[in-house]
Structure 1
Amino acid sequence: MKILATVGAFALGLLSEDVVWIFSNLIGKPIEEEAMGCLCSGIFALLLLLLLERLKVFTKRASIPASGCWNLILLFLGSVFLAEIVTERIESYEWTMISLELICMINLGTYHIYHKVVENYEERIEKAEILQENRMYLKQLEILQQSRQNIRILRHDLKNHLQLISSYLEKGEYEKAADYIESMEELQSVKGEYVKTGNVAVDSILNYKLEVIEKQTGCKPQLQIDIPCESMISEADLNIVLGNLLDNAGEALQKSDEKHLDIRLKYERGILYLSIYNSFDGVVYKSSNSKFKTRKRDDVKHGYGLQSVERVVKKYSGIMRITHDEQLFCVDLYFYV
Structure 2
Amino acid sequence: MALSTYEMVYLITNIFGTYIVYKFMHIFFETKEVNHRIEFLSYAGYYIFIALVYLTINIPVVTMIGNIVAYFGLSFNYKAGIKRRLLSVLMIYLIGMCIEVIVALLSGYFKYSLITVNNYSSVYGLFIFQILLYLVIRILNNYKNIRKGEIIPLANWAAIIIIPISSLYIILTLFQATGLSWEQILIGVVLILLVNFTTFYLYDVISASMVDKMDKILLGQQNKYYQKQFELMESSLKTTKAMRHDLRNHLSVIYALVEKGERDAALKHLAKMTDVYDDKKQYACTENIDIDSILNFKIQAAEQQNIKIALDLSIPEKMDIPSFDLAIILGNLLDNAIEAVADLEEERQIKTNINYDKGRLIILVENPYQGERVKVGNRYLSTNKEPSQHGLGLENVKSVLQKYDGSMDINQRSNIFSVSLLLFV
TM range (shorter): 0.7 to 0.9
Q: Structure 2 CA distance, aligned partners of 1:79 and 1:222?
A: 56
1:305 aligns with 2:393: yes
**CA distance in 2 between partners of 1:79 and 1:234 (Å):** 45
Checking the alignment, whether the CA contact within 8 Å between 1:137 and 1:204 is kept in structure 2 is: yes
- Does the residue aligned with 2:372 lie in a helix, a strand or coil? coil
| Offset, 1:82 | 1.6
Matches within 5 A, 1:55-74: 57-58=147-148
Aligned equivalent of 1:214, options 273, 290, 303: 303
Paired position in structure 1 for 2:20: 12
Give the CA deviation at 1:25.
2.9
- 1:164 pairs, out of 253, 256, 267, with 253
Cα deviation, residue 224, structure 1: 2.4
Q: Secondary structure at the match of 2:184?
A: helix
The structural deviation recorded for 1:212 is: 1.3
Partner residue in 2 for 1:115: 204
For residues 256-300 of structure 1, the C-alpha deviation after alignment (integer angstroms, 9 at most, x for no partner) is 2221212222334544332222121132111245x4234447554
Cα contact 2:151–2:207 (8 A) shared by 1: no
Q: 1:125 aligns with which of 198, 209, 214?
A: 214
In terms of mean alpha carbon deviation, does 280-289 or 243-252 score higher? 280-289
Stretch moving more, 42-51 or 168-177: 42-51
RMSD: 4.4
**Partners of 2:233 and 2:343 in 1: CA distance:** 33
Give, in angstroms, the shift of residue 331 of structure 1.
2.1
The reply on whether 1:85 has 2:173 as its aligned counterpart is yes
Map of 1:25 onto structure 2: 58
Task: Determine if contact 2:354/2:362 at 8 Å carries over to the other structure.
Answer: yes
Aligned to 2:273: 184
How big is each residue's C-alpha offset from its partner over 1:133-180, in whole Å with a ceiling of 9 and x where there is no partner? 111111111112212222222222222111012113323444544553
Whether 1:150 and 2:239 are equivalent positions in the alignment is yes
**Deviation per residue, 1:221-251 (Å, 9 max, x gap):** 2222232322353322221211110010011
Distance in 1, Cα, partners of 2:360 & 2:23: 47
Aligned residue runs from structure 1 range 238-277, under 5 A: 238-258=326-346, 259-277=348-366
Match of 1:3 in 2: none
5+ residue gaps, structure 2, are: 1-15, 25-46, 64-100, 113-124
Report the counterpart of residue 34 of structure 1 in structure 2: 105
Scaled by the length of structure 2, what TM-score is found? 0.62
Partner of 1:228, secondary structure, is: coil
Q: What is aligned with 2:164?
A: 76
Q: TM-score w.r.t. structure 1 length?
A: 0.76
Partner of 1:235 in structure 2?
323
Alignment of 1:193-208 (within 5 A): 194-208=283-297
Kept in 2, the 8 Å contact 1:281–1:326? The answer is no
Residue deviations 1:283-328 (CA, integer Å, cap 9, x gap) = 2111245x42344475544422223323444544444322222432
**For 1:264, what is the secondary structure of its paired residue?**
strand
Size of the aligned set, in residue pairs, is: 324
SS of 1:161's equivalent in the other structure is helix
Q: Which residue number in structure 1 is paired with residue 96 of structure 2?
A: none
Secondary structure of the equivalent of 2:308? Answer: coil
- How far apart in 1 are the matches of 2:136 and 2:373? 39
Contact preservation (8 Å) 2:310, 2:351: yes
**How big is each residue's C-alpha offset from its partner over 1:107-150, in whole Å with a ceiling of 9 and x where there is no partner?**
12222222222221111101100110111111111112212222
Which amino acid in 1 is paired with 2:391? G
Aligned to 2:421: 333
User: Which residue, out of 226, 234, 248, partners 1:137?
Assistant: 226
Identity %: 27
Q: In the alignment, what sits opposite 2:69?
A: none
Contact residue 319 and residue 333 of structure 1 kept, 8 A: yes
Distance 1:145 1:15 in 2: 55
CA contact (8 A) 1:222 1:261 kept: yes
